[in-house]
């Protein structure tokens, strides 16, 4: 039995999220079907982080176990021949030691992309449109209150099933690139809708409906009902997962921002 690790990208616009669901188009089912054709036996994949309806990935990480003997090229390019055009395997490698796509991860990296102009895009389905002018500098300043270890109750979905609302934010950056405002953030793990709720709060601050101090006020009050609107899923991208170096998973350079003492989330 071998364990294979894959990097996956997908456009989530036409999917009902990552997780397998009966009669709903989902990424897990599409990938398992394609891999099973290559392996010629049933394959079940485990992912680094389940994404919701409409959320994209530029580098989701998954693993699966197989008795089939295939080349990495077969798992990579061969699988792609059986996938729809909005899902692609971008790399493949054999797992080292006890690697697990979810439980071995030290940090996840998300990017939230806002198209900030008068009209929405006819071409780009992977951004959230905001017509109100946004002050990216104020958004960045407000975001720095979220750095470090905090109780993120005000930023979690009402139905979040995580046992603890506490997470460690390793970095969060907001900057403008022409008509786009981009939020980049990494933590040891994320609560349900945490990134989208952070994006909603920062967009409210950027449009000057709230002050820069609002992020700190929300951390202190620990009340989701006061936390504003959940931003749409359109602009959210799972952009990278970081693992200890001995697993041999290529590291996104963004993770050079992580502190040296960053550890796996338990």
Residues 6+ away with beta carbon under 8 Å from 213 = 142, 145
d(CA 193, CA 1): 36
Which of 11, 52, 97, 151 is flagged as catalytic? 52
User: Is residue 261 among the annotated active site residues?
Assistant: no
Residues 6+ away with beta carbon under 8 Å from 175 = 136, 140, 181, 182, 184
Q: How are beta strands 128-129 and 107-115 bridged, if at all? A: parallel
Residues 6+ away with beta carbon under 8 Å from 236 = 51, 54, 55, 56, 110, 111, 112, 128, 195, 196, 199
Residues 6+ away with beta carbon under 8 Å from 79 = 6, 31, 34, 35, 38, 89, 92
Report residue 189 CA to chain centroid gap: 10
Bridge partners, residue 167, by sequence: 150
Residues catalogued as catalytic: 52
């Amino acid at each position: 039995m071998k364990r294979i690790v894959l990097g996956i990208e997908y456009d989530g616009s036409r999917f009902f999220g990552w997780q397998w669901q009966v009669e709903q188009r989902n990424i897990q089912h599409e990938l398992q079907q394609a891999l099973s054709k290559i392996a010629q036996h049933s394959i079940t994949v485990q992912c680094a982080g389940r994404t919701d309806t409409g959320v994209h990935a530029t580098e989701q990480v998954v693993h699966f176990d197989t008795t089939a003997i295939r080349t990495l090229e077969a798992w990579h390019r061969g699988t792609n021949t059986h996938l729809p055009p909005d899902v692609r395997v971008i790399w493949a490698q054999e797992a080292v030691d006890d690697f697990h796509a979810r439980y071995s991860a030290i940090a996840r990296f998300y990017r939230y992309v806002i198209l900030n102009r008068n009209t929405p895009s006819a071409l780009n389905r992977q951004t959230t449109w905001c017509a109100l002018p946004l002050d990216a500098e104020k958004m960045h300043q407000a975001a720095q209150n979220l750095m470090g270890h905090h109780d993120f109750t005000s930023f979690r979905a009402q139905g979040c099933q995580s046992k603890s609302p506490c997470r460690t934010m390793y970095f969060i950056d907001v900057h403008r690139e022409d008509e786009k405002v981009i939020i980049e953030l990494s933590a040891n793990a994320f609560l349900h809708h945490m990134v989208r709720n952070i994006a909603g709060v920062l967009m409210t601050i950027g449009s000057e409906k709230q002050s820069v101090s609002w992020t700190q006020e929300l951390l202190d009050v620990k009340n989701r009902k006061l936390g504003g609107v959940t931003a749409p899923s359109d602009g959210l991208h799972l952009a990278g997962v970081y693992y200890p170096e001995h697993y041999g998973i290529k590291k996104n350079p963004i993770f050079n921002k992580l502190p040296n003492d960053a550890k796996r989330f338990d």
